[in-house]
Chains A and B, each alone.
Chain A
Amino acid sequence: MRHLMSPLDFSVEELDKLMDLANDIERHPDKYAHVCEGRILATLFYEPSTRTRLSFESAMLRLGGKVLGFSNAASSSAAKGESVSDTIRMISCYADICAMRHNKEGAPMVASQVSGIPVINAGDGGHQHPTQTLTDMLTIRSLKGHLNHLKIGLCGDLKFGRTVHSLINALVRYDDISFVFISPEELRIPDYIREDVLDAKGVSYEEVERLEDVIGNLDILYMTRVQRERFFNEEDYVRLKDFYILDKKKMKLAGPDMLVLHPLPRVNEISVEVDSDPRAAYFRQVQYGVYVRMALILTLLEVNV
């Protein structure tokens, strides 16, 4: 029995297979509409995350399965002090597969050690959120046709953003990938990513402060939110915040094939005027999130169609 804790749990070949399956689901949804009939997905969300939970539920329902679960710790047995290990042992009797979101890092791994059913990490604190990374990768591969030979700009909060770290870790396994990190000084990529991942693998990258300076050279622009509370002082926030807001004016500097991705929710870092631009891919990304979760459920349940 397999679980998914980190995007690196799958080899590049296994990821290719998973994404091929997701693309087949995209093309032939009817073929997959009943393949999980009689199966149950448990969504164990110890902290609220409406979008991720609904994406998982939609994925299982579109496969013909059913869902049960809870959406915050207060309404679960955790409020009575039950351990994660005990909860998953119980859930293993109720469901065939589960997706777990927990504010404590490593909670899904603890669950996977005693679980009778496959466990999917649906986000554990600031640690991992593998299905977001799989979503990002499927979006890029589907819309660009490949995951090699790409110059990827990551913009915004690169220090605390786990989706960014996770995506970098996953993409350095492909050929001819380079990164451009666009962030204020305070929110630059952490040293361990620079040393242990990028330098260790000989991946080329540059770090800049202004999006305008580099947007013209990018194949992918991955936007994240810059939060006011991350800055040391108000002055810097005011000085820098507009650098990290994507609008029509900045999009004019970008190439015709550049794609804009965002893990969502967006607050104000992408102006709504960009939404109608054909290069804005963040809502299609949400759709790919459902396809990749459908493919993941099928893979972990070992359902062959």
Chain B
Amino acid sequence: MGVLNVGRIEEGFVLDHIQAGRSMEIYKHLNLDKLDCTVAIIKNARSSKMGKKDIMKIECSLDYIDLDVLGYIDHNITINIIKDNEIVEKRTLTLPKLITNVIKCRNPRCITSIEQELNHVFVLTDPEKEVYRCKYCEEKYKKK
């Protein structure tokens, strides 16, 4: 299996094992367009575990990244933290208990549909089935 190398990162992190095709969604949710750093997105890389996967290389501190958002999108993603060109730490993600302003409540009867500047908050109510419910109306959020 060949190794694809899109520039080395001196300091930053690599998001590995992203479900193939979902990296742009992550780019958007992590607000990477607002960061002034190098971001490399590799789509459909070959993976022995997953068949195909996406990989992202981001050259900034992990402090700028909302790990809860990432955990919500896909908690199977692994994070390799790089310092001086070496992987110094591997981190796994968990499903966050609470997510704020990442997804919107679609229930038209929910108070979030009319209340001024109200945060859209979702609570993890069933970790096994990965069910999130709106904090206010308890409507289940269905991932597409």
Chain A residues near B (Cβ < 8 Å): 83-85, 102-107, 109-110, 124-127, 192, 196
Please, how many angstroms separate the alpha-carbon atoms of A126 and B109 in the complex?
Answer: 8
Which size class do B's interface residues fall under?
A: 10 to 19
Question: Known: A83-B116, A85-B115. Is A110-B136 also a contact (CB below 8 A)?
Answer: yes
Give me 11 other A-B pairs in contact (C-beta within 8 A), A106-B136, A109-B111 excluded.
A83-B116, A84-B111, A84-B115, A106-B111, A106-B135, A106-B137, A107-B115, A110-B111, A110-B136, A125-B109, A196-B126
User: Are the CB atoms of B109 and A83 closer together than 8 Å?
Assistant: no
Secondary structure of the A contact surface, majority rule: mixed
User: Are the CB atoms of B109 and A104 closer together than 8 Å?
Assistant: yes
Q: Which residues of B contact A85 (CB under 8 A)?
A: 115-116, 118
Instruction: For the complex formed, measure the closest distance between the CB of A167 and the CB atoms of chain B, giving whole angstroms.
Output: 16
Q: Does B88 contact A (CB under 8 A)?
A: no
Please, how many angstroms separate the alpha-carbon atoms of A63 and B29 in the complex?
Answer: 53
- Cβ proximity bits B89-110 to A, threshold 8 Å, 1 near / 0 not: 0000000000000000001011
Question: Known: A103-B109, A104-B109, A104-B110. Is A83-B136 also a contact (CB below 8 A)?
Answer: no
Q: Which residues of A contact B18 (CB under 8 A)?
A: none
Q: Which residues of A contact B134 (CB under 8 A)?
A: 106
Please, how many angstroms separate the alpha-carbon atoms of A110 and B109 in the complex?
Answer: 14
Question: Known: A110-B136, A127-B137, A127-B138. Is A105-B111 also a contact (CB below 8 A)?
Answer: yes
Most interface-central of A102, A110, A192 (chain B CB within 10 A): A110
Please, how many angstroms separate the alpha-carbon atoms of A126 and B108 in the complex?
Answer: 12
